[in-house]
Structure formats: structure tokens, C-alpha cells
Structure 1
Amino acid sequence: MSAGNSSSASSSGVAPEHEAANESAPRWLPLAPAIFLLLWSLGFPVARIATGYVDPMLLLALRFVCVLIVLLPLALWLRPPLPKRPADWGHLVVTGFLIQTLYFGFSWSAFAFHASAGTVALIVSLQPILVALAAPALVGEVIGLRRWLGFVLGLVGALIVVVGRTAVEATSAIGLLCAFLALLGMSGATLYEKRFGVSQHPVTANLIQYTTGLITTLPLAVIFGQLHADFNGVVVASLAYLVIGNSLIAITLLLAMIRLGEASRVSALFYLVPPCASLLAWLMLDEAMPPMAWLGMGIAAAGVALVRPAGR
């Protein structure tokens, strides 16, 4: 989903228009990475818990329905403008499909195949490498030596966190495949949003993208999933968080940061997701966090600091 003001594609060096974009950046932008990181990381253990009671595709479809129930009255009240061109509708649909259907669908399916929250988070954290490799050709970004060093440190830190967790278990081949497909979905969404993203009212963008998610996941839930679910208090609370925290706040922040910054730098935040997800899984699921994992958190944080520009 697209949110915030549109900015021009990043170029090599510091162009005047890039400086102007930084000067006009919203005041909330410096806080956005920390808020996004917490909300996004929390989604891993929460979804891991919920998929123990509900089929992942059914859970995903229910998530979309709940989001649309929240957004439709808001849209009727605010009456936000719709996309002006057919191409703008198409860009929102593609981004929604990549994030909502591919990324979340495969991530939650990996949980259903007994992948741990830390394992899935680790695989998704490889996203910055894929984005950095593709960004020069697709969105015109130049990746310098300092930032490549940051990518390496971030990856090493993420690996240390998950390897150091004694609770990490062997994952099935299908679970690993689902996690890697989720990685491709989010990487593609990051690059696509940076190159083709259009400035739209957040309510409009969310409505289009979550409708896309519902249309594409509901048939999968009916054909391949199990429609029976145990709607206990844990499931209801998990779904409420996944709707509000992940769907309405975290993803809006993510795409707003992508639009206002460089794709490779924003995606480097994902290196901190495995440490944070492992820490939260330790608190919520009693998954171990040994001393070596804390060391990995520090190394991953240093990597992100190298990649992200000063003042963001």
C-alpha cells in the first residue's frame, strides 16, 4: 500500500531533489523504523501462535475481511480520491499481491509446516541482499562499500541469533521452501513499490491492496485449506493484533519509508527482524535466547547503522 508523499527515484550521489525530499520529510519519519520493527517482529510469534489453531490461508482471508470491515466505513466517511489512471490501479494491485498474498501467505504456511518464528524471520532477513543486488538496475541506486559492509554484518548478526538459539528445530523442506518464496515476495514488493509506487491516500491504497489479498487468498483457503477453526480467545486476540498492528500500521509505515527513502536502506531494517522476533518468541513462546544470540543482535544493529543514512 502506498502512503505519504511521493518522492523521486533515488540516484547516485546526493542530487538537489533528494536533498529537497529530505528537508520536506515528515516529522514522524525518524521514529518510523523503530515502530515498524517492533510491530513487524511481533507478527512472527503472534502468527506462529495463531496458525496452531487456524489454517494459514483461512487466517489470512479472515485478516483481510477484518481489515476491510475497518476501512470501508472510514472510506465512506473520508471519501478519499481514487487512482486517476488504470496503471495506478494496477501498481497498487501488484504490490498488494506481492505483500499480502505471496509474503504473508507463504510465511504463515511455513509456520503451518512447523517452521519456527526465528527460522522464518532469518530467511526473510536475506531480503536486503536481494534488493541491493537488483536496486542498481531497477531503481538506479548505487550501493557503496560501506553499505555492502553493513549488509554483511547484518546477515552475520542475524545468522548468529538464530544459530545460537537452542530452540531452533529442524524444519521440513516444504517449510523452508515457503519461507524462501515469502522472501521473494517481499523483495519484489520493495523494488516494485520503489520504481512504480504511486502517491495515494492510505485508505484508498489499503482498500485496493487488501481487497486484492482477499480475492487471491480466499479461493486458496477453500481449495487447499481447512475451513474449520477453533476461535478461542488466543485466536481472536492474535487476529486483532495482525489486523491492527501488522495490517494497518506496520505495512503502511514500511511502504511510506520506502517511498521517502532508498529501497536498499529501508529493507536493511529486516536484518533486525530475526533478533527482535527471536527475543519476542523467547518472551511469548519460551524459545531460548542464549548469550550468543544477544551478541548477534548487536552485530545486526551495527550492520543496519552502516546502511542507514545519518539522521534517519
Structure 2
Amino acid sequence: MPHVAPKAPDASVPATPLTPRAGAGAGGADLLAALAPAVFLVLWALGFVVAKIGLAHADPLSFLAIRYLILVAVLVPVVAVLRPPMPRGARAWGHIAMVGFLIQVVYFGAAYAGMAMGVSAGVAAVIGSTQPLAVALAAPALTGERIAARGWLGLALGAGGSLAVVLSGRGLDAAPPVAVLACVVSMLGMAAATLWQRRFAVPAHPLWVNLIHFGLGSAVIGPAALAGPLQVDWTPGFWGAVLWVSITNSLVSISILLFLLKRSEAARVSALFYLVPPLAAVIGWAALGESLALAGWAGIAVAAAGVWLVSARR
């Protein structure tokens, strides 16, 4: 099956820090595109480690609600001062809001709920990393993208390698089925967001995109947190964790992800998620002293090979 070249960037998208103007330094844009996947992977994998620390100080809904409130409090004055152009029309607002709901409410909300009910952060990460398969299955019908044979082989290797990393360390937890189901719902939320963004991408300034995303997340998660136990330890460990995930995972990582989706196929970008559990395992091994067996290192190599098969251009 022939390989489909990625779509060219939409000329109607206004220049932003993530979308340079045509002719304003193609070399710089290419360098940014080359570095973006690595930066995204490191920040996203760190997010699981830091979230694990943060959830020791707060219940999941309170952690998320405070995270979103911080982001809205930061973005509102920035938008007011810089006055970036607003999204044009109800259609643009609707598509941006849908992606925000799928990522901030479904993906993060369900993942944190699953972890609170007994699924470990590592298993939650590996369940989430299987979303490239969901994207690959749905992309031909929803975005017109086709996956070549080598791409399917890469997706299978990525899934197997990620699973090997988790199983080598601690195995699948004896979590209740509803907790595992929550993590599956989380994975489907990110897959749906990836496909929606690729299919219905609209030109919009990143500041407005982020404000809509986090405002919606705050409006949905905030009331749910108030109805819950509201267990928060206001310690330096909590503030360090919530500020880290607010800035790096919410602002920087999501902006990079949306930038990558504008430049490449959904399946190719989503394949990066296969490297999140292995990279998180490496970070845990280096920073937290967590053990990583030989089978885990082998799983990292297999997952990396799978992502290369999906991402490499012929």
C-alpha cells in the first residue's frame, strides 16, 4: 500500500511561536519540527512520574481542578494584555472545545480516576500508549490516511515493547475492572482528540486554544472535585508537582502535540506515545531508583524500533 505524504501546513494558520510564517526561516521551522518529538516525549513521560508524586498529596479530581485553575489564572491576563486574534466563528470554537474536552476531561480525568481506584501509574501509561492502534484503525475512515504494512508492524512492535517494560518491572496490578476500564476510556479520549484535531483542525492562536481547553477543563472538573473528598496536603511537594504538570504537561506538551498534528499524519504522531512508558521507566530508574530488568531494556529497544518503522519516511 503506498505511503501517503503528510499534509502541507495550512497557509491560513496565523504565525505563532509554533507555526512560523512561510518564508520567515524554513530552516528554523524544520529544526523546531525535528526537536519537537523528543521534547514532547521527555515532558510527557516526566508528567507520569511527577503526577505520581502529586497524587500522594491530593485526590485526583482536586489535583486536576487546581491545575486547571492555575492555568486559567495565568492565561487570562496574558490573553488580555497580548490580545491575540480570537478563533473565528462558532465552528472554530466548537472544534477547539471538543479537542479540549477529550484531552483535559476524558484523557486526564479518566486516567487519574483509574489510578485513584488502584491502577498504577505505569500500567495507566501503558494502557494510554496503546492509543496509536485505535488511531490507526480509525484514521483511514476519518482522515483518509492509510497505514502501510511496515506501519502496522511498527504499531505491533510498539505495543509489545511498551507492555514488556511494565511487565518486567511490576506486572499488571490487581486493580478492579472499573479502574482498568477508566484507563481504557482515557486512552480512547486521547485517540479521539488526535483524530478530531487532525480532521477538523482550525486556525487559532495557541493562547486562545489553551485558554479554551483549560477553561473547559476547570468548568467540568472543578464542580466534580467540590463534590468529592477534597483531600489536599498543601506541602511543597504538592505545589512542585502541580506547578510542573501545569506548565510542562498542560501548556508546553499539549502545544507541541497540536503543532505536530498539523505537520504529520495522526498515526505517525500518535506512535510517539509508545515510547512514553519505556521513557517513564528510564526516568523512574534514574531519578527514583526504581528497578528495570533486562527484559525492560529489551522492551525499550523494541518499542523504539516500532516507532521508527511508523515514523520513518521512505
Q: TM-score, normalised on structure 1?
A: 0.90
Work out whether 1:233 is the aligned partner of 2:233.
no
Aligned-pair CA distance for 1:113 = 1.8
The aligned amino acid for 2:266 is: A
> How far apart are the structure 2 equivalents of 1:50 and 1:249?
19
> How far apart are the structure 2 equivalents of 1:19 and 1:186?
22
The counterpart of 1:254, out of the listed 235, 253, 257, is 257
- 1:37-89 CA-to-partner distances (Å, cap 9, x unmatched) read 00001111211221122111111111011111221221122100111110100
- Matched with 2:19 is none
Aligned-pair CA distance for 1:234 = 0.7
Q: How does 1:14-93 map to 2 (within 5 A)?
A: 14=5, 18=8, 25-93=29-97
> How far apart are the structure 2 equivalents of 1:209 and 1:68?
9
- Matched with 2:4 is 13
Q: How does 1:185-204 map to 2 (within 5 A)?
A: 185-204=189-208
- Matched with 2:134 is 130
Q: How does 1:88-167 map to 2 (within 5 A)?
A: 88-166=92-170
The aligned amino acid for 1:43 is: G
- 1:155-209 CA-to-partner distances (Å, cap 9, x unmatched) read 1111111111137643232321111110011000000000012121110111111
CA contact 2:3–2:148 (8 Å) conserved in 1: no
CA RMSD of aligned residues (A): 2.2
Q: How does 1:277-296 map to 2 (within 5 A)?
A: 277-296=280-299
CA contact 2:102–2:193 (8 Å) conserved in 1: yes
CA contact 1:48–1:108 (8 Å) conserved in 2: no
Aligned-pair CA distance for 1:286 = 4.0
> How far apart are the structure 2 equivalents of 1:49 and 1:109?
15
- Matched with 1:274 is 277
CA contact 1:96–1:212 (8 Å) conserved in 2: yes
CA contact 1:66–1:243 (8 Å) conserved in 2: yes
Select between 42-51 and 231-240 the one with higher mean Cα deviation: 42-51
SS in 2 for 1:32: helix
- 1:270-296 CA-to-partner distances (Å, cap 9, x unmatched) read 110110112223344443211110000
> How far apart are the structure 2 equivalents of 1:110 and 1:20?
38
CA contact 2:9–2:263 (8 Å) conserved in 1: no
> How far apart are the structure 1 equivalents of 2:154 and 2:236?
42
- 1:93-117 CA-to-partner distances (Å, cap 9, x unmatched) read 1100000001001111122123222
Q: What fraction of aligned residue pairs are identical, expressed as a percent?
A: 42
Aligned-pair CA distance for 1:19 = 9.4
How many residues end up aligned between the 2 structures? 299
- Matched with 2:212 is 208
* Shift in CA distance, 206/251, structure 1 to aligned 2, threshold 3 Å: same
CA contact 1:80–1:201 (8 Å) conserved in 2: yes
The aligned amino acid for 1:190 is: T
> How far apart are the structure 1 equivalents of 2:191 and 2:243?
26
CA contact 1:51–1:111 (8 Å) conserved in 2: no
CA contact 1:167–1:287 (8 Å) conserved in 2: no
* Shift in CA distance, 236/13, structure 1 to aligned 2, threshold 3 Å: closer
> How far apart are the structure 2 equivalents of 1:131 and 1:259?
15
Identify unmatched segments of 5+ residues in structure 2. 12-21
> How far apart are the structure 2 equivalents of 1:187 and 1:20?
22
> How far apart are the structure 2 equivalents of 1:19 and 1:244?
26
> How far apart are the structure 2 equivalents of 1:112 and 1:52?
10
